[in-house]
A and B are shown apart, each in its own frame.
With several copies, the nearest count.
Chain A
Amino acid sequence: MSVFIDGETRLVVQGITGRDGSFHSRQMIAYGTKVVAGVTPGKGGQVFDGVVPVFDTVADAVRETRANTSVIYVPAAVAASAIFEAADAGLRLIVCITEGIPVLDMTRVLPYVQERGARLIGPNCPGLISPARSKVGIIPGNICQPGRTGVVSRSGTLTYEIVHQLSTHGFGQSTCIGIGGDPLIGTNFIHCLSAFQADAETDAVVMIGEIGGTDEQQAADYVRQAVTKPVVGFIAGQTAPPGRRMGHAGAIISGSSGTAAEKMAAFARAGIAVMKRPADVVPLLRERL
């Protein structure tokens, strides 16, 4: 078992003929993901790389290929529309890689997805990977190893850094999930913690947060109440100045709220082992397991 994706994942790539979409589709196919369809309006009938049929609409792709999951690589201006379309077509899991979606678009997208009982991961996220099983998104497969540690993160490359530490020290991953750096996202820490807690193949969870908002604080409350597995946590942005957006649209300290110190304290109160630096992940995990 793994979390959200597994060998049954049948993927449709929205924007498969674009620059990013085609590159990562090849990477996902090479990794072993079942990429069953692509979508680009006007290119229905083409076959991507001689392997993946392309459709004009997600509805067509689902009807013809029984896809159950979508990954989105379309430009920001049309990414909200792509999520609406994926949800409308009945997909259960929608992973939106695209960065730069207006937050007001997300205020309308999120209830739409929820009403249809679908799960959205992202936007502005690296996706997720269940090593040796399936990869949906852009997390480099070569840094991951199959194993029993769950990883959930608001970040991209910082996640790779920490996963790399895990893999090189013998801690494989059940699933690594990048939930994205935007203020409004479909799947948050709590959703992932709950899934890892329920997953028989996950022994411990690494949680990588950053400044901005209160998601980590709420996740810490959740850990205290509902997570019995060891959790190790990191917060990026201890040196970030208030009021400046640190790259991610969500990484901004507003007033006195959303600071790294506040989040690290919440982690500690909830019994989460707090890393001071990314290299601490392995020793802390060893301690707890």
Chain B
Amino acid sequence: MNLHEYQARDILRRQGIPVPPGDVAETPEQARAIAERLGGGVVVKAQVHAGGRGKAGGVKLARNPAEAAAHAAAILGMTIKGLTVRKVLVAPAAEIASESYVGILVDRASQRPVLMVSAAGGIDIEEVAAQAPERIHRLAVDPRYGLLRHQALGLGLKLYRDVGQARAAADIMQRLYAAVYAVGASLAEINPLATTPAGAVTALDAKVVIDDNELERHPEIAALRDSGGEAPSEVAAREAGLTFIKLEGSVGCCVNGAGLAMATMDLVKFYGGEPANFLDIGGSSNPQKVVDALKIITADPGVRAILFNIFGGITRCDDVANGIVQATRQFPLRVPLVIRLTGTNEALAVQILTQAGFSALTDMDEAVQRAVAQARTA
């Protein structure tokens, strides 16, 4: 789960990391009030889960509260990469002496949280990694000991010659590491970690991504979810306990298991079609999930055919068959349906489907080919 910048700043601040003041506004009036409180120039930043906010016109400098309100009015309601801006962060327009990067993510290869720092901050770290990898310093932290003081200081000295600033940065790194475990983050970044003209080290912009698996144990973090930033079909799928990703093709896919779902999409493409979505109904085979899945797929106007690909292991084929029948009683399917079922309770499933007027295939390739053909002719 992605957090907005203002939410990430709050988390860092609670861990004792120096973050400039600032607050979030949902109206121009609120933006004006915050700017008045802060005094001086401010920056108004769109809070939206998309990169390239600046280029899209979602970040603007304001010299006074009136300008802040005007910028907020322009930015609020703006669409950036398909997402509507509903909140802006209003923060002081800080003078910056230098910009560094500090980030922590869980690294698959070392199986540890990895701290990355670079004196080349303020720009996309992926760009630095591509163009000047030697400017990124990495440390795989041993989670049994946490980020040790001397390790953080060693990295701090890569960022700053001044030992006081290096120590301040090291302290921020140790607090950022603590924050990762405290909130269950899979990524926590400060970019830029800025120095002010007076020499203070401060977290100017922050990004935190929460591991979805942590949300149950961190209800206060789960409450930060902003569904406004997601496709409505994906919100509906999550609420139904389905894993769904909207794509641009015409073959709606409904599969059990993530690996098989990807392989099904790949096979659609292999046979010349385009998948309309990734959809995993999961291991358990509740008929209601099938109903919800069909509801979400059929709501996509791009879908021209629907393909079920079920390999019954824990998932019982009869449950899936029952779900399909229930769904077609509740709402009309406006597109052809191709069903492939094999495995647990296959015979029973075929019987249920046949009685309801559907036919079922057992071979995955055959089913995919047929669905692709029907999507093309439909």
Interface residues, chain A, CB within 8 Å of chain B?
41-42, 56-59, 76-78, 81-82, 84-85, 88, 99-104, 106-108, 110-112, 126, 138-140, 143, 153-161, 164, 181, 183-184, 208, 210-211, 213-215, 234, 236-241, 244, 246-251, 255, 260, 276-279
- Which of chain A's residues has its CB closest to B167's CB? A41
- Contact of B113 with A107 in the complex, beta carbons under 8 Å: yes
Bound Cα distance A154, B256 (Å): 15
Q: Which of A77, A81, A157, A213 contacts B257 (CB 8 A)?
A: A157
- Contact of A102 with B280 in the complex, beta carbons under 8 Å: no
- Contact of B214 with A154 in the complex, beta carbons under 8 Å: no
Contacts of A184 in B (CB 8 A): 106, 108, 111
Bound Cα distance A59, B149 (Å): 14
- Which of chain A's residues has its CB closest to B161's CB? A42
Bound Cα distance A139, B313 (Å): 7
Interface residues, chain B, CB within 8 Å of chain A?
106, 108-109, 111-113, 126, 142-145, 148-151, 153-154, 157, 162-164, 166-167, 180-181, 184, 186, 211-214, 216-217, 243, 245, 247, 255-263, 265-270, 275, 278, 280, 283, 311-315, 342-344, 364-365
20 A-B residue pairs with CB within 8 Å? A42-B162, A82-B150, A84-B148, A104-B180, A104-B184, A107-B113, A108-B143, A111-B144, A154-B259, A156-B283, A161-B260, A184-B111, A208-B259, A214-B108, A234-B263, A239-B247, A240-B265, A246-B245, A247-B258, A278-B267
Q: Which of A41, A56, A240 contacts B262 (CB 8 A)?
A: A240
Contacts of A59 in B (CB 8 A): 154
- Contact of A158 with B263 in the complex, beta carbons under 8 Å: yes
- Contact of A239 with B214 in the complex, beta carbons under 8 Å: no
State whether A160 and B343 are in contact (beta carbons under 8 Å apart), knowing that A41-B163, A59-B154, A277-B266 are contacts in the complex: yes
Q: From residue A222, how far is it (CB to closest CB) to chain B in Å?
A: 14
Bound Cα distance A126, B256 (Å): 14
Q: Which of A85, A157, A278 contacts B256 (CB 8 A)?
A: A157
State whether A236 and B263 are in contact (beta carbons under 8 Å apart), knowing that A140-B344, A276-B270 are contacts in the complex: yes
- Contact of A155 with B259 in the complex, beta carbons under 8 Å: yes
- Contact of B262 with A239 in the complex, beta carbons under 8 Å: yes
Bound Cα distance A148, B280 (Å): 32
Bound Cα distance A279, B108 (Å): 30
State whether A246 and B260 are in contact (beta carbons under 8 Å apart), knowing that A102-B214, A156-B283 are contacts in the complex: no
- Contact of A78 with B149 in the complex, beta carbons under 8 Å: yes
- Contact of A104 with B262 in the complex, beta carbons under 8 Å: no
State whether A138 and B216 are in contact (beta carbons under 8 Å apart), knowing that A56-B157, A244-B245, A247-B278 are contacts in the complex: no
- Contact of A238 with B266 in the complex, beta carbons under 8 Å: yes
Q: From residue A75, how far is it (CB to closest CB) to chain B in Å?
A: 9
Bound Cα distance A239, B269 (Å): 7
State whether A107 and B112 are in contact (beta carbons under 8 Å apart), knowing that A102-B213, A239-B269 are contacts in the complex: yes
Bound Cα distance A239, B368 (Å): 15
- Contact of B270 with A210 in the complex, beta carbons under 8 Å: no
State whether A278 and B269 are in contact (beta carbons under 8 Å apart), knowing that A57-B154, A85-B150, A107-B111 are contacts in the complex: no
Bound Cα distance A177, B202 (Å): 47
Bound Cα distance A88, B150 (Å): 9
- Which of chain B's residues has its CB closest to A14's CB? B150
Contacts of B265 in A (CB 8 A): 238-240
Task: From B151, B255, B263, B266, name the one whose CB has the most chain A CB atoms within 10 angstroms.
Answer: B263
Q: Which of A41, A210, A241 contacts B259 (CB 8 A)?
A: A210
Contacts of B154 in A (CB 8 A): 57, 59
Bound Cα distance A103, B143 (Å): 12
State whether A249 and B259 are in contact (beta carbons under 8 Å apart), knowing that A41-B153, A143-B343, A278-B364 are contacts in the complex: no
- Contact of B343 with A251 in the complex, beta carbons under 8 Å: no
Contacts of A278 in B (CB 8 A): 263, 267, 364
- Contact of B258 with A100 in the complex, beta carbons under 8 Å: no
Q: From residue A85, how far is it (CB to closest CB) to chain B in Å?
A: 4
